[in-house]
Structure 1
Amino acid sequence: MNTHLQSNKAQAQARAKQIQAFRAEQRMLAEQGLLNLPSETVSSINRYHDALLQQLHQQQDIDLTEQASHVSLGMQIVSCLGALALAASLFFLFYQYWGLFTTPLQVSILVLAPLLTLVLAVWFCRWDRSGYYAKLAALVSFMAWVLNIVMLGNIFNLSQSPNAFGLFALYGFLLAYLLHVRLLLAAAMLCSYIFISAKVSHWLGDYWLTAWEYPEYYLLVSLLFFLLPLKINQQRYDGFTTVYQQIAAVVFFIAVLILANWGAVSYLPWADVWIEGSYQVVGFSCSALLIWYGMRQRQAGLMLTANIFFVLFLCSKFVDWWWDWLPKYLFFLLLGLTAILALMVFNRLRSSQQKDVEHG
């Protein structure tokens, strides 16, 4: 039986869904008289599946029914909200009584808060198979770490620095990989964006807080994050590849969309019209490439992201070209016809992909 166990919860949950789909199809075929298996064979298959589902449930705490899946989603939302509420409580508790503590006591509290919550998260991880309590404690630990860095800077009157976001990112990555928390991975990525862009801005002679004014800082970082799960296997971490690539794609396309419409914020030594035209080409090309990649990898989220930004780039060009001189009814008619054309192209791609699956 152990040879059939999956390496992680996501694979175990997928196996459970396969079993449920097999049973539903088997019942339907039997009712239509298309599948008449001996009762001994049916009983043997059912016993095997029951035992496998029970073992997967015990080891990976998977959901065995659709209702259980809905409850699990609710538990994830509640654990996230609970972590935010506890972190806010910790924050306001510090500020309510902070002035009553001596400096050594303040430093001790700030250092111990993330460490104790980290120990608590690890203990929950071993005690609770569902992982919800561990993730809640991990989120609180991350908030305590952020509060730790900020408050220590205030206590010792340290100047503001982008290095704080580097520390936030390091601790976020540590917690994310230690406890398999996708939300913390996303938070660590966003802190990394701020840290890297601020450091590059500082190296180029600008004040680091102005880094957000230059979208080009985020392009290379997005490419690195997108390629990272292709070079470093993330199979052991459920959903991490999706988080890396989805966030990287969204940040990349937002930066390109800004540059495609406001060339003045670019570092390129060209006229604005050339900068905007170049980034429009980049936006169209990369969104089309991501659609192809998402179809090839069967990642619906990436395809949806690419489609949304492809349409945004297209609409922005239509506005530039025709909004001022075309009648409004004709402008929107043109948009509608373009949408129909896009549907036809996507339908051809979908049919081609289905034929590949049938012949593959």
Structure 2
Amino acid sequence: MDETKPVTTNTPLNKTQAQARADQVLAFRAEQQILVEQGVLILADDKAAQVRDYHDALLQQMQQEQNVDLNAQARHLSLGMQIVSFLGATALAASLFFLFFQYWGYFSTVSQVALLIAAPLLSLALAVWLQRVDDSGYYAKLAALVSFTAWVLNIIMLGSIFNITPSANAFAVFALYGFVLAYLLHVRLLLAAAILCSFMFIGAQFGSWMGSYWVHAGEYPEHFLLASAMFFAVPMAFKQQRFDGFANIYQTLSAVVFFIAVLVLANWGSASYLPWSADLIEGVYQVVGFVASALLVLFGIRTHAAKLMLTGNVFFALFLYTKFFDWWWDWLPKYLFFLLVGLTAILALTMFNRFRAIQHAWMQSAGGEHV
């Protein structure tokens, strides 16, 4: 063929979607080769060339636009680059931190303030510039992490210079800058840091409203329940298709925080604000934990979110096994206790296999409706 029609897509793909599409193309080519060798699929030369040229153009476009990996070696290299960039950002952030404290006393107050203001701004400008010139995005993300560290140091050191009373509002400022960097430069690690800072700020505010000092917000896990539910719902209210992996971070991190808080309350009812006995509070939160983790598994199955299903499974097992320990560890023989745990795992495996069969049947019926 002399010409190949340009490849166009109806909607822009993020990197995860582009990588999935590239994997589909590569899997199709491998299966097509097997079918041709076995004589099952026979295409005319012009048709085979047309399909091959279309896939070549599609893979080239996605590789240029989203830097997808087209083989296992490239995928392994990408993983290595992610690890190295994270370690490099951590090392540079630590270097910046210790540099400030090593020579801080040699600067005048005006110089200190100027350095604190300039550090995050200059590193932000560097990150934006690197994003434009570097297609891989790793250097821009590294600079963004350094900029976030400089911002945190900025707030802490300015508070120290001007003797400002520490407050939970600092976490709100950290979170705001983290969200800006995460969405500007597509950095998932900074999104996670911003969400955690938001949890700290909201939890501290709840603690202050309930009459406790904000530093002790972590002593009452109920401070974080509402915040985790709010952030879990963010991807439902505001779609995150343009931002690779952001929806998963919102929901998985929120679910983890929620279940940790419920797990603590299910075992230490005295940490609750509820005006009931500790045993009743623990019983209520145990039920909440079982129901919420089971619902999260079902939600993950319905939305095809593997990490949410895994999170629900893990915490359902934790709630179940902590209750087994409370009920039977002291009076059951150890071999019988672990036998009971093993049989429960087999029962759970059977249930999950049933869920999988139901999901498969649902997908088949949904596919049949579109035939």
Q: Same fold (TM over 0.5)?
A: yes
User: How far did 1:186 drift?
Assistant: 0.2
Q: Percent identity?
A: 64
Contact 2:7 2:54 in 1 (8 A): no
User: How far did 1:277 drift?
Assistant: 0.3
Q: Secondary structure at the match of 2:299?
A: helix
User: How far did 1:158 drift?
Assistant: 1.2
User: How far did 1:358 drift?
Assistant: 1.9
Match of 1:103 among 85, 88, 109: 109
Match of 1:314 among 320, 328, 333: 320
Look up the match of 2:225: 219
Contact 1:257 1:279 in 2 (8 A): yes
The one-letter code of the counterpart of 1:116 is L
Deviates more, 1:28-37 or 1:308-317: 28-37
The one-letter code of the counterpart of 1:38 is A
Is 1:245 equivalent to 2:251 in the alignment? yes
Contact 2:7 2:58 in 1 (8 A): no
The one-letter code of the counterpart of 1:102 is S
Contact 1:249 1:305 in 2 (8 A): yes
User: How far did 1:113 drift?
Assistant: 0.2
State how far apart, in whole Å, the 2-side matches of 1:61 and 1:341 are.
Answer: 44
Moved over 3 A (4+): none
Look up the match of 1:234: 240
Q: Secondary structure at the match of 2:274?
A: coil
Look up the match of 1:32: 38
State how far apart, in whole Å, the 2-side matches of 1:298 and 1:196 are.
Answer: 30
User: 1:119-160, CA deviations, whole angstroms, 9 ceiling, x for partnerless residues?
Assistant: 111111111111111100000000000000011111111111
Q: Secondary structure at the match of 1:3?
A: coil
Q: Secondary structure at the match of 2:320?
A: helix
The one-letter code of the counterpart of 1:356 is W
Deviates more, 1:309-318 or 1:57-66: 57-66
State how far apart, in whole Å, the 2-side matches of 1:352 and 1:2 are.
Answer: 37
RMSD (CA atoms): 1.0
Is 1:281 equivalent to 2:276 in the alignment? no
State how far apart, in whole Å, the 2-side matches of 1:15 and 1:124 are.
Answer: 27
State how 1:116-265 maps to structure 2 within 5 Å: 116-265=122-271
Look up the match of 2:8: 3
Match of 1:59 among 57, 65, 85: 65
Q: Secondary structure at the match of 2:241?
A: coil
Is 1:15 equivalent to 2:46 in the alignment? no
State how far apart, in whole Å, the 1-side matches of 2:139 and 2:294 are.
Answer: 41
> Aligned pair count?
360
State how far apart, in whole Å, the 2-side matches of 1:225 and 1:183 are.
Answer: 16
Deviates more, 1:307-316 or 1:57-66: 57-66
State how far apart, in whole Å, the 1-side matches of 2:265 and 2:363 are.
Answer: 39
Q: TM-score, normalised by structure 2?
A: 0.95
User: 1:61-87, CA deviations, whole angstroms, 9 ceiling, x for partnerless residues?
Assistant: 221212111111111111111111111
User: How far did 1:10 drift?
Assistant: 2.2
The one-letter code of the counterpart of 1:326 is L
State how far apart, in whole Å, the 2-side matches of 1:274 and 1:206 are.
Answer: 24
User: How far did 1:2 drift?
Assistant: 4.8
User: 1:247-284, CA deviations, whole angstroms, 9 ceiling, x for partnerless residues?
Assistant: 00101000000000000000000000100000000000
The one-letter code of the counterpart of 1:94 is F
State how far apart, in whole Å, the 2-side matches of 1:6 and 1:178 are.
Answer: 18
The one-letter code of the counterpart of 2:260 is I
Look up the match of 2:369: none
Deviates more, 1:313-322 or 1:134-143: 313-322
Contact 1:257 1:313 in 2 (8 A): yes
Q: TM-score, normalised by structure 1?
A: 0.98
State how far apart, in whole Å, the 2-side matches of 1:39 and 1:70 are.
Answer: 35
Is 1:43 equivalent to 2:30 in the alignment? no
User: How far did 1:99 drift?
Assistant: 0.8
Q: Secondary structure at the match of 1:243?
A: helix
State how far apart, in whole Å, the 2-side matches of 1:14 and 1:335 are.
Answer: 38
State how far apart, in whole Å, the 2-side matches of 1:62 and 1:323 are.
Answer: 51
The one-letter code of the counterpart of 2:289 is G
Match of 2:98 among 92, 95, 106: 92
